Amino acid sequence: MRLADFIERNTEAILEKWESFARTLLPAAAGLDVATLRDHAAQILQTVVLDLRTTQSRSERVAKSRGEATRPLQTPETAAETHAVLRASGGFSMDQMIAEYRSLRAAVLELWADSDEPEPQTLRDVNRFNEAIDQAVAESVHFFSLESERWRAVFLGVLGHDLRGPLNAILLTSQLAFQMSTGRAVNEVNARLIRSGERMRQLLDELLDYNRVSLDLGIPVSPANIDLAVVCQEEIELQRVAWPKQVIELATEGSTECVGDASRLKQVLGNLIANAAKYGNRDSPIMVRVNASDPEAVVLSVENTGPAIPASGLQTLFEPLSRGGRPSEDAIAERTSLGLGLFIVRQIVQAHRGTVTASSTDGKTVFNVTLPKNGPSQAKPVQAA
């Protein structure tokens, strides 16, 4: 009997073995009913049967076994993909889900071997069956990983959101204590507490922005008519307080009026200045330039001197959990970084329909942010790419 026919005729016996094995996957399987334990197993078997009966070339079979089979656009999720999502959200581990497929493979081949003598097509059927199972495993692993990452992002987002409340209370209390305190020593202690609280708030903001991007919500921007030079000047004043030993200079050219989200663009500039202060030379100024000579676009650049960033580093500079290089000696204490600053910069710039690039040669590193003067095309949250 051909394997496809055997699976169709013995589906119930195969599902019983699947269910029996799934029940051992504790603690996730504890208390689950039969339907949940068998989740999508019947549909996965139907897909395998259909695959066994489909004529395929050798290259198509190899691609399928590697999880690289071509798939028509806008097709619904496969049974294996849906099964992975439900197992991930149900508390199963990836190892347990893969073990289900190992058990399914063994059950089918064992039952088939017990029921029939080998035929000329047996080996070909076994190979095709293994390729189909491998394809299902590849689909499941991919979707399981996506679902796990989604829930991780949700958890971190909720954690960051809930931490903002008590952190704001700490900041308000420390600021009040600073205003009421007397004596230089007390003021320095309160000032340090305020700076630490502000740093924690910045980290939480980066974490929340990162999770918005991870959940495909994008970075929200609220465009308005702004003077980018004024926006930069206000942010530079704050950064001079944060980096008291660092000289930060501003130069402008042309009409700097444009459309953008002032708060988000301050965040961009703040992250770029902080990056320059951490990794550049403290004895050289950080140069911030706003060049608005182009009638259609404005270029915001941040330049610092210091060790060059290698080409390999430039390629991943804007990726999450990436850092620009080795911090300067004065910035060694500034270790509370999630490696999300430049990633957030790129997302905000993209939400403004702009671009950001970096170059590092001859001891000079320059970040260039190019923004259209007419701003984002919509005055509502824009999903970043």
Average pLDDT, the chain: 83
Strand spans (E) along the chain: 224-227, 248-254, 257-260, 286-292, 297-305, 355-361, 364-372
User: 289 forms bridges with which residues in the sheet?
Assistant: 251, 301
Q: Which two tokens stand for residue 166?
A: 């008590």
With bands split at pLDDT 50, 70 and 90, how would you rate the model's confidence at 327?
Answer: low
Give the start-to-end residue ranges of the domains of the chain: 1-216, 224-372
To which CATH superfamily is domain 224-372 assigned?
Histidine kinase-like ATPase, C-terminal domain (3.30.565.10)
Residues 269, 231: Cα–Cα separation, whole Å: 9
Residues 218, 212: Cα–Cα separation, whole Å: 6
pLDDT at 70 (0 to 100): 72
Instruction: Please tell me the total number of residues recorded for the chain in this structure.
Output: 385
pLDDT at 159 (0 to 100): 67
Shortest CA distance to 300 belongs to which of 244, 369, 203?
369
pLDDT at 26 (0 to 100): 92
pLDDT over threshold 60, residue 385: no
With bands split at pLDDT 50, 70 and 90, how would you rate the model's confidence at 383?
Answer: very low
Q: Which two tokens stand for residue 10?
A: 């013995």
Interior angle at CA 163, CA 159 and CA 166, nearest 5? 160
The predicted model scores a pTM of 0.55
Using CA atoms, how far residue 310 sits from 113, 326, 367, 371, in Å, is 59, 12, 15, 26
Q: Which residues contact 70 (CB under 8 A, 6 or more apart)?
A: 63
Q: What are phi and psi of 364, to 5 degrees?
A: -135, 130
Residues 306, 367: Cα–Cα separation, whole Å: 14
**In this predicted model, what pLDDT tens digit does every residue of 209-246 receive, in sequence order?**
777 776 666 788 889 999 999 999 999 998 887 788 89
The DSSP H or E segment spanning 169 is helix 122-180
**In this predicted model, what pLDDT tens digit does every residue of 243-297 receive, in sequence order?**
888 999 999 999 999 999 998 999 899 989 988 998 888 889 999 999 999 999 9
pLDDT at 336 (0 to 100): 47
